[in-house]
Amino acid sequence: MNGWCGKILKINLTTGERGSECPPPEVYRENLGGRGMAGYYLFPEVTRPWDDPEMPLLLFTGPLVDTPAPTSGRMTFMSRSPLTGTVGDCSVGGSFGTLLKKAGWDGIVVTGRAPRPCGIEIDGDRVAVTDATALVGLPVGEIFARLKGKGGAAVTGPAAESGVAFANLVVDGHFAAGRNGLGLAFAAKQLKYVTVSGQGKTAIADSEELADAVEDIRRLLAASPAIFGEFGIAEFGTPALYDLTHARRMMPTANFRRTLFPAAPALNAPALRERYRPKKTGCRGCPILCKKMGADGTPLPEFESLSHFTALLENEDLDLAVQANRLCNDLGMDTISAAATLACHAEIEGVRLSPAEILSLLEAIGRGRGIGAELGRGSAAYAGARGRVECAIVVKGQELPAYDPRGAYGMALAYATSTRGGCHLRAYPISHEILRKPVATDRMSFSGKARIIRIAEDMNAAIDSLTTCKFIFFAASLEEYARALRAVTGMPVSAQDLLRIGERIVYRERMMNAANGFAAAADDLPERFFRSPGTSGGHIAVPPLDRAAFLEARGRYYAVRGLDAQGLPTLAKAKELGLPWTR
């Protein structure tokens, strides 16, 4: 096969069995790779409890991985989320996906539960399950030091061992993955790490056509100020968004009780640059290099982490934000959920946490000590136990990231309908509501947003299945990537075909969530956003969301998505998309 290896590695940690599966070509054509292929393998098993030994852990690359197509070195991790109970997945960069492809595998399906902590080491066709007992309790950085020389690596940290519901994976030292608890899903199988190396090359159907497609993409990238402009993402990383959200009075502040943080101008991307003199780094083969590392090698926070460890916690100490980000990485837990859970705790206690208290509580969460064991369940469970559910700012149990929905109504709808809980990346309407790309829309209106969110979800599902980066689509489009896919695989495919594949992937995820009891009641926002205004001023009004308008927009979304009035899949739409009916 061109583009794909044609093989899936299957490992059962209970029995020790290892084997391979060769899916038929139509499975690849219908699912592409990454999120699509992982969803294909999760679908038959998704009603199992997340910690059932037979619940699969899924690691998948895409057809453009290990080719010259820009930003295509990403991959997907997927299982059922321990935090939310929904589909749990994450697209992540680094070199792991490329090396898995070079090893000759399109993906890995892991089932079973090992009798003791273990690691999986893959070198081409050679697969070994090793004893990882000696790594238990070690910070993530030390684990990577011990795995040096073994290729790409994905590891869990102490937070997963402690049962933290938002424990994540760290890939290649500093790429965080799985903010919906995938690290805990690994721990349920006693799996500490996976490493991979290989020397193979991906077969390409038409190298000349691919070179032309790549040139088109690079030309569009070079002309994009959002990417390569003076204040773009290539220059400042995702913290370039910090000033934009502040200026638009949609910076989540004090656990989403306000939308303006007066100290923000001293805590932005230029402030990070001045203080830490960052170096550029990024995923393998990426021309954008949006990751920033301090001069001493300290990973600097992404926008969401920077915002949450400053505004959300009312913290004015930039060093604290960097230290908290690094501590979360070393413990192996999601920065967004960790900061949001602390903000929930601070509101319940009626306190403003000091920098020292923030670091101490993060350590307690990651190690499962004292109150950290309660906080490690996530803000929804913690607030529920304290009788203060209104303090948990979540959708489907997952904490919201750093865009207040009162300042971007498309984001409000996207949060509510996301198949993996409160997530900005399922649709990412920030591109047109804040960055005004590719077409500007009125951010304070639900008008037209239902169809926009549905199309954006389909597009991003296709992007996650090609395993490319969403940032590049500020400049390029599915037209250019359809051309690249045709060149790599020889498969006749258009941008509309990719959108259709994306639609199928999203609908299947809605079907999986419905099978686990998720319906319209879960596609909602915290009541705070409908009752309390944001922080108006500077000629910008930030009123509460209009609940009737929100419900009307959600109803329109259900209609254009092919769901019934309760947000549930229908037999007719499933048949139209060629999906097996499970209800």
> Where do the domains of the chain lie?
8-197
**pLDDT per residue over 508-550, tens digit each?**
999 999 999 999 999 999 999 999 999 999 999 999 999 999 9
**pLDDT per residue over 456-505, tens digit each?**
999 999 999 999 999 889 889 999 999 999 999 999 999 999 999 999 99
Please answer whether residues 194 and 59 qualify as being in contact, where contact means their C-beta atoms are separated by less than 8 angstroms.
yes
Please answer whether residues 514 and 568 qualify as being in contact, where contact means their C-beta atoms are separated by less than 8 angstroms.
yes
Q: How confident is the model at residue 290 (pLDDT cuts 50, 70, 90)?
A: confident
DSSP-assigned beta bridge partners for residue 155: 170, 193
> Which residue do the tokens 């409000």 mark?
412
Residues 6+ apart with CB under 8 A from 356: none
> Which residue do the tokens 């992007």 mark?
463
Distance (Å, whole) CA 452 – CA 558: 13
Fold of 8-197: Aldehyde Ferredoxin Oxidoreductase;  A, domain 1 (3.60.9)
Query: What is the token pair recorded at 233?
Result: 């993402």
pLDDT at 583 over 70: no
DSSP-assigned beta bridge partners for residue 540: 537
Please answer whether residues 332 and 159 qualify as being in contact, where contact means their C-beta atoms are separated by less than 8 angstroms.
yes
| Collapsed DSSP state (helix, strand, coil) of residue 417 | helix
Q: If you ran DSSP here, which 8-state letter would residue 27 be given?
A: H
pLDDT at 376 over 80: yes
Distances (CA, A) of 564 to 523, 558, 572: 13, 6, 11
Distance (Å, whole) CA 46 – CA 216: 40
**pLDDT per residue over 311-344, tens digit each?**
999 999 999 999 999 999 999 999 999 999 999 9
Share of the chain above pLDDT 70, in %: 100
Distance (Å, whole) CA 282 – CA 285: 8
